[in-house]
Amino acid sequence: MDVRLAEEYVHILENELAAIDPDISHIIRYEEEKQARKIILIPSESFAPQAVREALGSVFNNVYAEGYPPLRMTRDEEELVLDFSHQLAYYRRYADRRFYKGVEYVHFLETLAQRRVAKCFANERVPAEQIYVNVQPLSGAAANLAVYDALLEPGDTIMGMDLFQGGHLTHGSELNISGRRYKVVSYGVDPVTERLNYDKIMELAQEYRPRLIIAGYTSYSWAPNWEKFREIADAVGAYLMADIAHTAGLVVAGAHPSPVGIADVIIFTTHKTICGPRGAVILTTDEELAERIDAAVFPGIQGGPHTNKFAAIAVAFKIAQTDVFRRLQHKIVENAKALAEAFQKRGIKVAYGGTDTHLLVLDLRSIKSDTGFPLRGEIAARLLDIAGIIVNKNTIPGDEMTPLASGIRLGTPWVTQRGLDAEEMDEIADIMTEVLVNIKPFRYHGREHELPRGKIELSVLQRATRRVADLVERIPIYRPSRKSGYPHYCFLPGSRRKPLFEGQEARGKGQGARDDLP
C-alpha cells in the first residue's frame, strides 16, 4: 500500500474548489453574481433549485452504467421501487441488463426518474403505467436524433417548422445532420396572420407525404393544436413527434395542452420550464416504439449515460408534482402575456401577434430609426446586456439570415421564479423600450460584407442600468450576496474604471482580475 501517495492525494480528494483551483472558483462566483444582478429573459433558461444541483453534483458522477435498469423494476410502482430489501435481493439473484456491475443504486435513480416523469405526464387519455420513458438522452438535440434513428431510414421525408419562422435547428435545418440525412419539408406561418394555418400544413403534407411530422417550436409563441396535427399525420400515414422542449413544465402544470396520448413520440428537455438539470427525455405510449427508441439511444447514439443526471431529474420531477410548481408555471404564462401587452401598448410589435406560452419575440422592424437603417436583434441584445437585461436575437417571419435577425426573444421562467409579477413586467418593458427606441442603427464595411451596428447616448444606457439595479434590489428571491465593480459592471456606483497606471500596478501584483472579490 502506497500510504504516502494516498495521504498526499487526499488533499486533492477532500479540499474545496477554492483551494484546488481558485481561478475556476472565482469565475463561478462571478457567474452567480451575474445571475443575481441581471434580469434574465432567455426563455430556455431557468434556475435549478439547490436540491437539483446537489443531486447533480453527487457521487453518482463517478459511476458508469451502460444499458438500462431491469425491465421488471421499471414497471413497478414507486413504493415498490424504493423497497430496498425486495429490489436488492432480486438484483443479487438475477443481476441486470447493464454492461457494468456495481450499479444497483443507479437502477433506483433511473427507475424513480422514469416513474416520476410518467406520473407527471399522465392524463385522462393515458395512465402513468402506459407511458414509456427514456431519461438517458444528453440533450434535446440528441433526443431528436434518437427518435429519427428509431423511426426513419436515411432519405425519408420529415416535415417541421421552418427555422426562420420559429422551428428548431434539429427539425431539418441544412446546417444540422437532420437536414443532411433526411429530405426536409418545412411549414411556416400565414404571412398575414402570423399564425399556423393547419389547412395549408395539411396541403403540404399531402403533397410531400412525410414519414414524420414534427410539432413544437423554439420561438413560435402559440401552443400547437395537437389534434389538428394528429389529423394531418393520420391523413398521410406519418408519425407525429411533439417537441415540447420549451413547454414541458407548462404541460405538467396544465398551463399548456398536452400531446400525451395524441403524438406517437414526445421529447423534451429538463432544464427549461422543468427547472431541472441539463438533459432530455423521450416519451411514448407505444411499447414497440419504446424498444426501438431505447435501442436508438443506447447503443445507437450514446454510450454511458450521465447517472448523476438521473438523480437530478428524479428530484426535479418530485418538485414538479407540487402545487407550488403548478402555480409557478401558470404565473410564467401570465407574466409572458403581461410582458407582451406592455410592449404592445408602447408601440413595439410582438411577432406572431402575442403569446399563450412562456415566451414572446419582439419585431424590431416596428421601431423606426431616423438613420434609415434597421435595428438588428444582435445589436439590441448587446446593448440590453450592458444595461443588465439578457435576451437573445431571433429570426422572425421575413428574415433570411440569422446574423441579420430582426427579432429578440424573451421568456419569463427566470423572472417568475424570482417573484416578479405583472407590475414588474411593465417596468421591464419600459426600461427595454427606452433603450431600444434610442439606439441609432448604422452599418460599416467589414472584411467581407457590411456589418450592422448601433449607437446610443451614454446617459440612456446609464439610466437603464440604474433602473435595472433598483429593480434587482427589490427582488425578494436570490439576492446578490456581493457587488463587483469594473470590469464586470459598468455605469453603477463603485463600478468606475481604475486609472490606467493604478490598474497596471494592481495587475503587476497579480491582483487585477480579483481585487473586487471579498
Show the cell assigned to 323.
402545487
How many Å apart are CA 239 and CA 214, to the nearest integer?
A: 9
Beta strands in 35-113 (DSSP E): 39-40
Please list the residues that pair with 269 across neighbouring strands. 280
Check 230, 272, 318, 409 and give the catalytic one. 272
The alpha carbon of 74 is separated from its chain's Cα centroid by a whole number of angstroms, namely 27
Burial 3-41 (b: 16+ CB within 10 A, else e): eeeeeeeeeeeeeeeeeeeeeeeeeebbeebbbbbbbbb
Q: Do residues 332 and 358 make contact, with C-beta atoms less than 8 angstroms apart? A: yes
Cα–Cα distance for residue pair 80/86, rounded to 1 Å: 8
Would you tell me the crossing angle of helices 287-295 and 140-151 to the nearest 10 degrees?
120
Q: Does the annotation count 269 as an active-site position?
A: yes
- Contact by Cβ (8 Å): 364, 407: yes
Please tell me which residue in 66, 430, 515, 516 is annotated as part of the active site: 66
What region, left, alpha or beta, does residue 477 occupy, with left being phi > 0 and alpha being psi -120 to 50 degrees?
beta
Q: Which of 75, 183, 195, 278 is catalytic?
A: 278
Q: Looking at residue 91, what DSSP letter applies?
A: H
Q: What DSSP state is assigned to residue 241?
A: E
Catalytic residue among 32, 34, 45, 64: 64
Q: Does residue 395 carry a catalytic annotation?
A: no
* Grid cell at residue 155: 432519405
272 is catalytic: yes
In the set 269, 285, 412, 416, the catalytic residue is: 269
Q: What is the number of other CB atoms lying within 10 angstroms of the CB of residue 232?
A: 25
45 labelled catalytic? no
C-alpha closest to that of 454 among 364, 366, 388, 352: 364
**Of 218, 226, 227, the residue nearest 247 (C-alpha):** 218
Q: How far apart are CA 38 and CA 45, in angstroms?
A: 13
Q: How far apart are CA 207 and CA 232, in angstroms?
A: 12
Whether residue 385 lies in the annotated active site: no
| CA separation for the pair 134, 200 (Å, rounded) | 34
C-alpha to C-alpha distance for 462 and 456, rounded to whole angstroms: 10
Q: Which three cell numbers stand for residue 468?
A: 435595472
3-state helix, strand, coil in the chain (%, to 5): 50, 15, 40
Q: How many CB atoms lie within 10 A of CB 423?
A: 10
The x, y and z cell numbers of residue 57, run together, are 453534483
Determine contact, residues 361/348, Cβ cutoff 8 Å: no
Task: Give yes or no: 66 in active site.
Answer: yes
Which of the residues 33, 96, 243, 341 is marked catalytic? 243
Q: Report the distance separating Cα 54 and Cα 354, nearest Å.
A: 37
Closest CA to 253 of 321, 313, 317: 321
Q: Per the structure block, which three cell numbers stand in for 327?
A: 402555480
What residues are labeled active site? 64, 66, 243, 269, 272, 278
